[in-house]
């Protein structure tokens, strides 16, 4: 999900009011998505900190996935770790290879 406030990106988990509105929507949409025939062993989460903790909390309550694997957000890599982007790309490829 992406949200804009006053012309800037805002994370749903950083604003309590937005989180209160977004969480039921996220749960509903995740339940709908999981009605499709998908492998629920692994979930890849973009964002290895707050987004990962939020999704992990929901997963504990809902039991959607066996394991959630956090991946650094591409914007974080390009903004703060650009010199190491090859390492991050290889790490992501390795993370995806466990589900094959």
What number is the average pLDDT over the span 75-89?
88
Residue 95: its pLDDT value, please?
Answer: 85
Q: Which residue is it, tokens 């650009």?
A: 82
| pLDDT at residue 74, rounded to an integer | 84
- Predicted confidence at residue 99, as pLDDT, reads 66
**Distance of alpha carbon 59 from alpha carbon 78, whole angstroms:** 29
Q: Encode burial over 38-74: b for 16+ CB neighbours within 10 A, e otherwise.
A: eeeeebebebeeebbebbbebbeeeebbeebbbbbee
Assigned token pair, 8: 């800037």
Please tell me the predicted confidence (pLDDT) of residue 100: 62
Residue 2 has pLDDT above 80, yes or no: yes
Three-class SS state of 33: helix
Work out the percent of the chain whose per-residue pLDDT is above 70. Answer: 98
């Amino acid at each position: 999900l992406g949200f804009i406030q006053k012309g800037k990106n805002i994370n749903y988990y950083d604003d309590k009011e937005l989180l209160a509105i977004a969480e039921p929507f996220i749960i509903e949409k995740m339940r709908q998505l999981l009605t499709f025939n998908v492998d629920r062993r692994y979930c890849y989460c973009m964002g290895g900190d707050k987004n990962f903790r939020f999704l992990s909390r929901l997963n504990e309550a809902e039991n959607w996935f066996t394991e959630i694997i956090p991946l650094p957000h591409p914007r974080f890599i390009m903004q703060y770790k650009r010199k190491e982007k090859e390492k991050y790309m290889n790490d992501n490829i390795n993370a995806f290879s466990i589900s094959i």
